[in-house]
Structure formats: C-alpha cells, structure tokens
C-alpha cells in the first residue's frame, strides 16, 4: 500500500533529568525529492544529522519539516567570556580616551551588555544525555506521522483503483469493438464504390480494405495499454514507494491513449478513449501525492 507524500504527526513528552517537556511536530509537503528541514533547540544542533537519518529510514520523498520545542531552556553547564572580544573592546575604549580626551569609567553593567561577550555552552556529554532521553518522543511523533501518511495513502488507493478498473474495462471494450469497426469500414467502402462505379474490382477492393484496416488497427495499442495497466497495478500493490514508476507508466498509458484516439476513427471507440483519458488524468492528480 503506497504512502501519501503529505502528512502530519505530533507527540509530547517530559524527560526527568533535567525536567523538561518537549513538543515535536513532523509535517510534509509534496516534493520531487527528499528534503528535510529541522528546527530545534540549540542543544540539539549537534544531533540534526541523526534526526534526519531517523526520517530518511522511513520516508523517500517529500519536503519534511521537523519542529522541536521545549517548555524551558536547559541550564548551561559552562559559562565563558570571549576574551578576545573583551580585549578588543577595552583597547578601543583606551584609544578613544587618548585620541579624543574622553573621560569616564567602564562599569560591569556596560561590559555585560556587550553582545556575544558572555557565552553559554552545554557539554557534549550532557547534551547527548538529554538527546537520548528525548529520542523516544521523536520516534512517537514519527510513528504518528507515518500513520497519517498511510491513512491518506489508503484514500488515494481507493480513488486510483476505481479509475484503473475503468481504464481496463474501456480498453477491453475497445478490443471487442475492433471487429465491428472493421465491418463498418468494409460496408462503408462498399457503399462508396457502389455509388461511384458500376463494376467493382473485388480483389482491389479488399486490398484497399486491408490497407485501411491495417493502418487504423488499434489491437497493438490495446495490448500495450493493458500491459501498462498490469504493471501499474503490480507496482501500486507491491511497492512501498512507487510514485516515480507510476508517473512513468501513466505517461506511457497516455501515449497509447493518444494513438488510439488518432487511429480509431470510430465513434464508439472514440467515446471509450475519451473516458480512458479522463481516468488517466484523475490518476495523475492522485499520483502526484504518492511517495
């Protein structure tokens, strides 16, 4: 059963050390390839690749957005001063005083207000422990996300299966109409000849008839169309991520339908071809959302 390319899953959970609640949301949109965007707290930045790998194991196509939020900041285990920035700032103050004879003294509040002077950081080991405790929450959101994709895939499958059955039905109907169409051509040519000349060269007449029938014969197109339908059904039922293959097969089905439309030149067949094209277009719209 194919998966829809769109879906959404959420999960929340609390870790004990430190006591923090996390909310995770995973959502996806249609995309030709797999693209994963991760928006997470700073402490999880070193683990973005691992988060992406978790998604890649389960998803093959789509633009995936992972949003991780926490109810409070994780207290940093290390506070540092950017000494190079501090020295540069103090040097600039001394220079201004000497060159422009500016008076005044620096105080601690002024120094602390310098952007980037104070650095807060988490030890890798501490961050790893938090991420390890958080991982089950991510997995829970991922499972909810996949369930929705699967459910949406089931809805798509029902619509696609209905259309593919109709295409198969109309194609088989066209095969049954071929003898009737050939007989129609024969009678039509006979009427034309009888109206134009009194004496009919029967051998030449049948040569022309065979040439016309062969030039307008759609038997091979029907066989190829039925073959594409069989391959489509097999990929749709058996493959987990058949999106690209289904798109290719739809192009081939459309090509055969176009040829049928040109060669048929028979009202009942033309009507069936129009129905086939309509159903192919319906499937094409649905397949755009299949992973």
Residue found by looking up tokens 């991780």 in the block: 68
Q: Tell me what pLDDT residue 255 has.
A: 94
Residue 260 and residue 229 share a domain: yes
* pLDDT reported for residue 261: 85
Q: How confident is the model at residue 4 (pLDDT cuts 50, 70, 90)?
A: very high
Q: Is the pLDDT of residue 161 over 90?
A: yes
User: Do residues 277 and 183 share a domain?
Assistant: yes
Determine the structural domain holding residue 31 and report its residue range.
Answer: 7-74+126-151
Question: How much is the pLDDT for 124?
Answer: 52
- Residue 256, domain member (yes or no): yes
Q: Could you give the number of structural domains in the chain? A: 3
| Same-domain pairing of 117 and 224 | no
Mean pLDDT of 212-220: 73
Residues 256 and 183 occupy one common structural domain = yes
Which CATH number fits the domain that encloses residue 46?
3.30.230.10
Residues 138 and 12 placed together within one structural domain of the fold: yes
pLDDT attached to residue 200: 58
pLDDT (0 to 100) of residue 137: 97
Q: What is the pTM of this model?
A: 0.68
93 and 133 together in one domain: no
pLDDT of 74 above 80: no
Residues 45 and 158 in one domain: no
The answer to the question of residue 2 being in a domain is no
Which positions ≥6 away from 246 have C-beta within 8 Å? 232, 235, 236, 287, 290
Regarding whether 178 and 166 lie in a shared domain, the answer is yes
For position 202, what pLDDT does the model report? Answer: 65
Q: Are residues 161 and 266 in the same domain?
A: yes
pLDDT of 230-241, one tens digit each?
999 999 988 888
**If pLDDT is split at 50, 70 and 90, which confidence band does 95 have?**
confident
In a domain, 160, yes or no: yes
Percentage of the chain modeled with pLDDT above 70:
84
* pLDDT on residue 96: 77
Q: What DSSP string runs through the chain?
A: -PPBS-EEEEEEEEETTTTEEEEEEEEEE--SSEEEEEE--GGGGGGHHHHHHHHHTT--SEEEEEEEEESSPPPPSEEEE-HHHHHHHHHHHHHHHHHH-------HHHHHTSTTSEEEE--HHHHHHHHHHHHHHHHHHHHHHHHHHHHHHHHHHHHHHHHHHHHHHHHHHHHHHHHHHHHHHHHHHHHHHHHH-SS--HHHHHHHHHHHHHHT--HHHHHHHHHHHHHHHHHHHH-SS-HHHHHHHHHHHHHHHHHHHHHH-SHHHHHHHHHHHHHHHHHHHHHTTB-
Over residues 235-271, the pLDDT tens digits come to 998 888 898 899 999 999 999 999 988 887 788 888 9
Alpha-carbon distance of 162 to 159, in angstroms, equals 5
- Average pLDDT (104-124) is 71
Question: Which of 101 and 282 is assigned the larger pLDDT?
Answer: 282
């Amino acid at each position: 059963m194919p998966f829809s390319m769109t879906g959404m899953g959420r999960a929340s959970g609390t870790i004990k050390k430190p006591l923090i609640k996390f909310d995770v949301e995973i959502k996806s949109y249609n995309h030709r390839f797999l693209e994963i965007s991760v928006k997470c707290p700073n402490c999880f930045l070193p683990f973005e690749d691992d988060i992406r790998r978790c998604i890649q194991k389960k998803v093959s196509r789509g633009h995936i957005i992972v949003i991780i939020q926490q109810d409070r900041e994780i207290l940093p285990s290390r506070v540092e001063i950017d000494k190079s920035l501090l020295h540069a700032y103090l040097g600039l103050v001394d220079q201004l005083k000497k060159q422009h004879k500016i008076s005044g003294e620096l105080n601690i509040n002024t120094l602390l207000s310098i952007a980037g002077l104070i650095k807060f950081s988490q030890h890798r080991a501490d961050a790893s422990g938090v991420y390890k405790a958080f991982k089950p929450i991510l997995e829970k959101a991922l499972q909810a996300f996949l369930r929705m994709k699967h459910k949406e895939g089931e809805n798509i499958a029902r619509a696609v299966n209905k259309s593919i059955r109709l295409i198969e039905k109309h194609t088989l109907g066209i095969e049954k109409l071929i003898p009737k169409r050939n007989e129609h051509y024969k009678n039509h040519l006979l009427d034309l000849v009888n109206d134009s000349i009194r004496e009919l060269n029967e051998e030449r007449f049948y040569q022309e008839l065979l040439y016309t029938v062969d030039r307008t014969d759609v038997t091979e197109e029907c066989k190829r169309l039925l073959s594409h339908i069989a391959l489509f059904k097999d990929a749709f039922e058996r493959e987990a991520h058949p999106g690209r293959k289904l798109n290719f097969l739809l192009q081939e089905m459309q090509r055969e339908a176009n040829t049928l439309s040109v060669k048929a030149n028979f009202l009942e067949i033309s009507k069936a071809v129009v129905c086939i094209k309509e159903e192919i277009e319906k499937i094409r719209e649905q397949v755009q959302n299949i992973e």
